[in-house]
Structure 1
Amino acid sequence: MLETPLSTESVTQTLSEWVAALDWESIPDNIKERAQYLILDGLTCALVAAHLPWSETAVNAILRMESPSGTCPLIGWKDKRTGPLPAALINSALIQGFELDDYHSIAPLHSGSIILPALFSLVAHLRASTDGRKVTGKEFLVAAIVGYEVGPRVGMALGGGNILSRGWHSGTVFGHAASAAASSRLLNLDSNQIEDAFGIACTQACGLMSAQFESSVKRMQHGFASRNGLFAALMAEARYKGISKVFERPYGGFLAVFANGGDPAAPDEVIKDLSVEWQTLNINVKPYACMGGIHATIDCLKELQSKNDIQAADIRSIQIEMSEPAFKHGGWKAEKPVAVIGAQMNAAYIAAAHIIDGDITMHTFSSSMLNREELWQLVPKIEVIHQTEFDELPNHADKMCTRTTIVLTNGDQLTTTVVRPTGVKRPLTSDEIIAKFHSLTSDLVPENRQEEIIQFVQNLENCDDMSEIFNLLNFDVPSPIA
């Protein structure tokens, strides 16, 4: 078993040594199983979003500027290949393409869209290399778990949702290190190279949250982290020198710079309880196609609608109370017309759609459903406010708390509070993740191929060549909202 702590010299060195030393036997079985199903969920998201309009625009634009004859396949695209870096960027944009991918409720980032694209690129890149290295399923899982562990820890060192409240796209800030860690592990780099990879990755970290309102680039920003972390690991493999001790350097160090203007950084969070408390278990799987901070709003409405006959015409007003990170992310005032990305990020819009339709699905955002007049008659009646008492809750996950109050035209008042939404209060089980895969891909993926993809992921431990998965993923998938 892996013993910790590995070093007391520095946070960056200790983390680098842990990444280099982690092996299959050191990881508990429940962590391996959870990682398998997080991988399946990532594939679900990519297949669903592969041919959405903004995804097709991204693929076609990137392939015009990058080699279309590379070795790395694109998920949900038949006979489309490119180099490892653009492939990581594209496949990440697909996983993030419809706001269905995983998220960490304490340190907000979408791990699958950062880690899996980089690793898939490496699988294909290494298989096509001179020595034709085959990546086994065990190697892939260990590398993925490394990424799932590193990303949230870097985020918690910066106060988690605090950086989101300040306007940074948190996942693209935390995610560069996660991609570098996972990629370095799959490349079998030594601890000195891994430290270089962290230094090369972290100097590229960025991401503006204003991308959420109307910009397609919001779908791609986690791809910057995936691509740049992979680039960092490949450069470190070649012994290109990165920034040493990048996490804890007081001047120009990663934590010092991104903590500036917020709470002081907590460097020890980066290496706290490595191989003891597994952050992989704290990665949530989304049941709804919208921003995670709005999930509690949906759960509130589901509860109220299950107990009351609520019609849009009978509503005088709705008040939605949220903590600061959720409010700043989803409490902004929506104006007609709203883009799909904006609709998925706005609590009032999502609430109105749920009241009218009784659910939030992929079809909520189809061209025929978006910007309906009946929906825009309800949105102005919805007020979203920052409830400071939720910010003071001691448990970080509890800060996703939302209180929703509906006042009807007859004067009746209906109210309920959800502290942790579906997928956080109780994580989606392996069977529920399979059910999500079946539900979302039933009209997109033939049934026999669905089962082959599930079985492949379930049997990663016995896989001798991960590149075989591309035989199941590289076909043209139709758009779910055409």
Structure 2
Amino acid sequence: MAGTTPTDADGPTGRLATWLAETSVDAIPTEVSTRARHLILDGIGCLLVGARLPWSRIAVQSLTVEPGASVVAGWDRTASAPTAVMLNSSFIQGFELDDVSYRIPWHANAVVLPVLLAVAGLRGKVTGAEFLRAEVLGFETGARVGLALRGPQLVTHGWHSGAVFGGPGAAAAGGVLYGLTPARFEDALGIAATQSCGLMANEAMVKRMQHGFAARNGLVAAMLAAGGYGGTKRIFERGYGGYLTVYGAGHGPDPSHIDDALGEHWYLREQTIKPYAAMGYTHPAIDAALALRAADRVDPAATARIEIEVADSVFDHTAFPIHRPIESVAAQMSVRYVTAAALLDGTVSLEQLRPERLDRDDVWRLVDRTTVTRGSGSASQGRVRLTDVDGRTHEHRTEAPLGSVERPLDDAAIVDKYRDLTGRVVDRHRQRAIEDLVLHLDEHRDGPAALLTLLAPAVGDALD
């Protein structure tokens, strides 16, 4: 039998594994746990609104042939735990409304939350405090691995960054609920890391499930480690075959991020909660377009030319060519499309991405008059310059978009977003019951079980 201590307790992997095993919910600062509850609420809002979207229906019908032990949210249906995790993750990612990070980058809820729901259902008697602790520690693990790997560099090379490094975060979250020892956490992290993969797929339906693959891999890693299955040791400091060595090749990975200021610096507070249903790197341009529109200085119908500047690091991710007709997933990733929609409608939400809206002439007139250039700023910066038919120009630059670290949505705004989203698909009583439970999660010993009961019944179609 393996011991309880990691193979190198003083190395980055060993220190992280020990921290995961030994950190209590009481060690988490109040402001972090409060934000974590609101992050979970945002994820659940995205989960429910995404459950019955067309691509979600295809996934459910393709994968849930046999019932299983885990809830498929919003479907009154069950599946095996790995399948339920993939589906629930794809619902959270289903309409580009879920949390994101400009610095790391990843969609944390889509990786961590489905694993917690599955393990809580499998184990039973998981308390709300344990669930909250697992959310925070899983998040912190994924964030640190993403930083060590220099996540934005992955994007420039065509990797879907969160799908690559989300697995260790998911494994950590699941491992907390399984009560793993430091040695078993080392195994879980190694098993998750060895499954890492994910290619960028801007225009493809599978983009909705990329983080789900990472979540599934993390779940499997936690389950195997809990059962005594061994993983690669010292996964974050190994040379040949090491996680950072392989996936960080060519862009200088830094293993110090794995264990630096553990328990002192909490990255969860820095996660962006999205105000728009679009890929995060398009938000600076959306904000700039909305600022121009709000200033009453522009008439979209009289716009002759739109020039958008995005960071060089995300140019390929946002400025790829688009053509009519277009699917919603490509539209949500395209800075051309969402900027045009924002100028015309004053927001980018579900309504701007309905099939009939995606094919409207007014949007495509603006799209066809748009050019995108590379800027030298960060991924959270952007600029929109409009030229009208009389030759007058109007310009706005965004230094930090709404929802980002510099301009975060406050807790009340997150609750409002949850209510707006879920009001489309569930009745008010169920909506408020979920909200009250999540925002007081650590006060409920049976909170996760009650939450699963509330998530299980069928929901409406957000696009109806």
TM-score w.r.t. the length of structure 2 is 0.96
2:135 to 130, 136, 144: 144
Q: CA deviation at 1:274?
A: 1.1
Tell me which residue corresponds to 1:376. Answer: 364
| Pairing 1:443–2:424 present | yes
**1:311 Cα deviation after fit:** 2.5
CA offset at residue 192 of structure 1? 0.6
Contact kept in structure 1, 2:50 and 2:94, CA below 8 Å: yes
Q: Give the structure 2 partner of residue 57 of structure 1.
A: 58
Cα distance between partner residues in 2 of 1:174 and 1:319: 34
Task: Name the residue aligned to 2:121.
Answer: 124
Q: State the AA in 2 paired with 1:449.
A: R
**How far off its partner does 1:374 sit?**
2.2
Alignment counterpart, residue 153 of structure 2, candidates 162, 165, 170: 162
Partner of 1:285: 273
Which of 322, 340, 345 aligns to 2:333? It is 345
Q: What is the CA distance between 1:309 and its match in structure 2?
A: 4.4
Alpha-carbon shift at residue 333 of structure 1 (Å): 1.7
Alpha-carbon distance in structure 1 between the residues aligned to 2:313 and 2:396: 20
8 A Cα contact 2:298 2:394, kept in partner:
no
Equivalences for residues 190-269 of structure 1 within 5 A = 190-209=181-200, 211-213=201-203, 215-261=204-250, 263-269=251-257
Which amino acid is 2:282 matched to? I
Match of 1:77 in 2: 75
2:444 aligned with 1:463: yes
One-letter amino acid of the counterpart of residue 12, structure 2: V
Instruction: Tell me, in whole angstroms, the C-alpha distance in 1 between the residues paired with 2:187 and 2:291.
Output: 50
Matches within 5 A, 1:307-322: 307-322=295-310
Following the alignment from structure 2 to structure 1, what is the Cα–Cα distance between the partners of residues 218 and 197?
12
Residue 355 of structure 2 aligns to a residue in which SS? coil
Alpha-carbon shift at residue 228 of structure 1 (Å):
0.6
Partner of 2:409: 428
Alpha-carbon offset, residue 323 of structure 1: 1.0
Contact kept, 8 Å, 1:323 with 1:386, in 2: the verdict is: yes
Counterpart Cα distance in 2 of 1:414 and 1:464? 56
Distance 2:372 2:9 in 1: 46
1:451 Cα deviation from its structure 2 partner: 1.1
Tell me, yes or no, if structure 1 residue 417 matches structure 2 residue 394. Answer: no
Q: Contact (CA 8 Å) 1:201, 1:228: kept in 2 or not?
A: yes
Name structure 1 gaps, 5 residues minimum. Answer: 1-6, 128-133, 392-398
Aligned residues: 456
- Structure 2 partner of 1:474: 456
Runs (4 or more) in structure 1 with deviation over 3 Å come to none
State, as a whole percentage, how many aligned pairs show the same letter.
37
Write the deviation string for residues 102-133 of structure 1: whole angstroms up to 9, x where unpaired: 01220010000100000100011112xxxxxx
2:258 to 262, 270, 279: 270
Deviation at 1:328, TM superposition (A): 2.1
Residue matched to 1:403:
383
Among residues 422, 442, 453, which one is paired with 2:434 in the alignment? 453
- Aligned: 1:104 with 2:101: yes
Please list every run of 5 or more consecutive structure 2 residues that lacks an aligned counterpart in the other structure: 1-7
TM-score, length-normalised on structure 1?
0.92
C-alpha distance after superposition, 1:324-380 (max 9, x if no partner): 233221111211221110000000011111222222110111111112222212112
* Cα RMSD, aligned residues only: 1.3
Instruction: Measure, in 2, the Cα distance between the counterparts of 1:443 and 1:97.
Output: 15
Asked whether the equivalents of residues 294 and 326 of structure 1 are also in contact (C-alpha less than 8 Å), the reply is no
How many Å separate the matches in 2 of 1:201 and 1:138? 25
Which residue in the other structure is 2:33 paired with? Answer: 32
**What amino acid does structure 1 have at the position aligned with 2:142?**
G
Question: 1: CA distance between counterparts of 2:188 and 2:209?
Answer: 22
Q: Distance in 2 between matches of 1:183 and 1:359?
A: 37
Task: Indicate if the aligned counterparts of 1:19 and 1:146 stay in contact, CA closer than 8 A.
Answer: yes
Residue 407 of structure 1 deviates from its aligned partner by 1.0
Cα deviation, residue 8, structure 1: 6.1
